[in-house]
Amino acid sequence: MINKNIIRNNIELLKKALKNRNNKTIDVDLLKDLDNKLANVSLEIESLNRLRNELAQKANAAIKNKDEALFLNLKKEGETIKNKLELLKADADKLEQKLQAMLYEIPNIPHASVPVGVDENDNVEVKRWGQIPKFDFAPIPHWDLITNLKLGDFERATKVSGSRFFIYKGLGNKLIRALQAFTLDHHEKSGYIEFGMPVIVNEKSLIGTGQLPKFKEDLFKIENTNYYLSPTLEVQLTNYYAQELLDEAMFPIKIAASSLNFRSEAGSAGKDTRGIIRQHQFYKTEMVNLALPENSYEALELMTTNAEMILEALNLPYRRIVLCTGDMGFGAAKTYDIEVYLPSYNGYKEISSCSNCEDFQARRAMIRYKNSKTNKNELVHTLNGSGLAIDRLFAAVIENYQNQDGSINVPTALQKYMGVAVIK
């Protein structure tokens, strides 16, 4: 959530940010009008409360002086003020609710270094690593490799659950487990503490990280409850510190987890319908970093590099792009996407998104620290990044390491987890 002071002191910054994000749904003038009305009502309430206190003091004096007539007049005047206050407080509550609802819909302000653009076509590539594999044969897409080598089952997953679900089996499931363990072990070496999180989260946590109320259609809600299936471990890991005042000496706080995530994929009809790239249920290893504000952009670079190092360890070609203002996620101030090369796409596909949300999520979730310099409680900066999307990593490994005979070489870094050098 943005700082209200932007509405009061720098409304043009907000207008520019929304324009750059191609957001035409927020009525900035209405927002400012609501804030002004709320401020005026609040001032009136303060004024009446002062007057009420003054009347109470005069009434006490009248009692001491046994001036019954004056006391009764003051009492009557006090009741009139009380009634006005009740009406004004009701107005203030309505205005606050409207304002809060609008604030929850406003995306984060992009960092000054983010390129201005309309959509993914305006994203900027900043790095490319590795050699694209050259095959002496026509490479097989991962969905056919999976079927040929009995690594999983698409048809029975559809029978058991429905479309956009998949069942791993045999060495396919072992490879998924190996990739989860490998990524977690890598993050542990980079200073991340491993967590095991619930996959069910409450509404408050989803509000804290920005999935609610704006993206409700992307979530699976558990009927007749206040619970949802988690769309990303960013929710659990960030909200682990919600409503807390943290010690400055704790920073940076680096935590990671790997588990199933669930998304309805609303609006993705026709996209990535083959294979395991876009599923309702998927594995992901997630990094979250809570940083002091002055260190958060250095932390973003380190987090992104940390995710890239996994691909380098597996010798998978990738590129890094910085997202433009029009393609950036709701809560992000700056985002790097890492895209791995997939022969089936003859191009790069997103496998990680690393974002600095600055204090946007911390304001919603109330995550603060005691600043030793100012001796004030201030908001932390939150960062999150996929490290990595495991199903997509699975696809990248089997496609890039396939052989002409249809077998798959297991990357050297994974062989101790798999117990085999070749899948055939």
Write out pLDDT tens, residues 107-155: 999 999 999 999 999 999 999 999 999 999 999 999 999 999 999 999 9
Q: How far apart are CA 283 and CA 292, in angstroms?
A: 30
From the list 21, 320, 364, 392, the catalytic residue is 392
Higher pLDDT, 301 or 68: 301
Q: How far is CA 61 from CA 47, 51, 69, 78, in A?
A: 21, 15, 12, 15
DSSP string, 215-232: TGGGSEEPTTSSEEE-S-
Asked whether 334 and 382 are in contact (CB, 8 A), the reply is no
From the list 52, 128, 177, 278, the catalytic residue is 278
Phi, psi (degrees; rounded to nearest 5) at 350: -55, 135
Mean pLDDT of 252-262: 98
Active site residue 320: no
Q: What is the pLDDT of residue 218?
A: 95
Ranges of beta strands (E only) in 292-333 are: 318-322
Asked whether 360 and 334 are in contact (CB, 8 A), the reply is no
Active site residue 278: yes
The mean of the pLDDT values for the chain is: 96
From the list 21, 263, 364, 368, the catalytic residue is 263
From the list 44, 203, 312, 350, the catalytic residue is 350
Is the model's pLDDT at 269 over the cut of 80?
A: no
Active site residue 296: no
Q: Considering the entire predicted model, what is its pTM?
A: 0.94
Write out pLDDT tens, residues 146-193: 999 999 999 999 999 999 999 999 999 999 999 999 999 999 999 999
Mean pLDDT of 313-326: 98
H or E element that contains 5: helix 4-9
Write out pLDDT tens, residues 54-76: 998 998 998 888 888 888 889 89
Buried-state track 330-339, b at ≥16 Cβ within 10 A, e below 16: bbbbbbbbbb
Q: SS3 of 12, please?
A: helix
What tokens appear for 199 in the block?
């996959």
Selection from 199, 208, 287, 196 nearest residue 244 by Cα: 208
